[in-house]
Amino acid sequence: MHDFFRIRTISCLALWLLSGLPGTAAAADGVPARLSETGLFVAGTTRIQPGNRSFSPQYSLWSDGATKRRWIYLPPGSAIDASDPDAWNFPVGTRLWKEFSYSRPIETRYIERLPSGSWLFAAYVWNDDGSDAILAPEAGLPGHVANEAPGGRYPIPSREDCLACHEGAAVPVLGFSALQLSPDRDGQAVRAETPHPADLLLTSLVSQGLIVNLPDELLARPPRITAPSPAARSALGHLHANCGHCHNNGGPLTLLDLVLAQSVAGGVTSADDMLQTLVGQRSDFDLPGASQRIVPGLPSHSVLALRMRARDPLTQMPPLGTQIPDSEGIALVERWIREQL
């Protein structure tokens, strides 16, 4: 495990060095060179195009305290096919954007479904005057200076980093799913967001014809994590959003037998699969004084909790995208382990 992350870190660094000096990047393979060319804004402005719909997942991904805004565009006359409720099939031409801000926008990430069925991934770095954002090099900008960010640095991910998270899930679109858009919101979720009236939810997707073949039970009974207490529900949702895109029962890490993603198939979001692979199970990554993924009642001896606290790049979880621990998320998970397991 240590060797895997060491090799990955070295390979990312090599790609960055080969990419040349950080700065603007020329568009390659048809990737727009500027964010303003992706269709997010009304031409000549930074106002959002009316056809781009906002949304906010009920369980947030920790990103070093950055504020985020998100939008999706579906081509006119198209709809998402939800025949598989855990892996929605998005139409060709779907576009999604996620903006990361502190006191100003720093980065916007963009994905688009291409005619081949594959997905384009790009990261855009905002200029100082906030008028536009420039395509980052494919290898990212690990040392990007942003005084507003923790430590004055804001690492821009490489394309390889994007793929590591997005291609580990059942579908590359993260945070836009039946559970995340359920109208039965978890008000105790870490950094819970109250949806804006214009934000898309599962119900509005259906009423506006933007999704088809959604199982009837998910409308009759909106998805909700089944848990014995509100704290357990929120802890499981936090792990789903921050860990489940890699640790699931269908991605490349399946052999680890660690399921942190929630399924809504059958209309019930049960935590049973997750708990069976967590509680009392030996970890593939031992730490001093800790060899089990979760030891009931003892977060200080639970590898999961310890790796959430760590920021050694060979130990921390999630392994990418954060420089500082998520104190609220850690406190929630540790309380759940200590008091309810």
Which pLDDT tens digit goes with each residue over 9-30? 333 333 333 333 233 333 456 8
Residue 267: pLDDT above 90? no
Whole-number Å distance between alpha carbons of 55 and 195: 7
**What's the pLDDT at 26?**
36
**What's the pLDDT at 168?**
78
**β-bridge mates for residue 294, sequence order:** 279
Whole-number Å distance between alpha carbons of 265 and 269: 7
**What's the pLDDT at 20?**
31
Residue 7: pLDDT above 70? no
**What's the pLDDT at 11?**
34
Whole-number Å distance between alpha carbons of 283 and 291: 6
**What's the pLDDT at 125?**
97
**What's the pLDDT at 19?**
33
Whole-number Å distance between alpha carbons of 40 and 43: 9
Residue 64: pLDDT above 90? yes
pTM for this entry = 0.89
Residue spans per domain, the chain: 2-166, 202-340
- Return left, alpha or beta for 214; rule: phi > 0 is left, psi -120 to 50 is alpha, else beta: beta
Q: What band does 206 get if pLDDT is binned at 50, 70 and 90?
A: very high
**Average pLDDT over every residue of 235-249:** 94
**What's the pLDDT at 88?**
97
Which pLDDT tens digit goes with each residue over 135-190? 999 999 998 999 999 999 999 999 888 988 898 788 999 999 999 999 999 999 99
Residue 266: pLDDT above 80? no
Mean pLDDT across the chain: 89
Whole-number Å distance between alpha carbons of 267 and 153: 43
117-123, Cβ contacts within 8 angstroms, sequence gap of 24 or more: 117/92, 119/166, 119/172, 120/31, 121/159, 121/162, 121/163, 121/166, 122/31, 122/32, 122/38, 122/159, 123/156, 123/157, 123/162
What residue type is assigned to position 332 of the chain? L
Residue with tokens 């779907």: 94
* Residue percentage of the chain with pLDDT more than 70: 90
Tell me which residue of 125, 155, 161, 170 sits closest to 265, measured CA to CA: 170
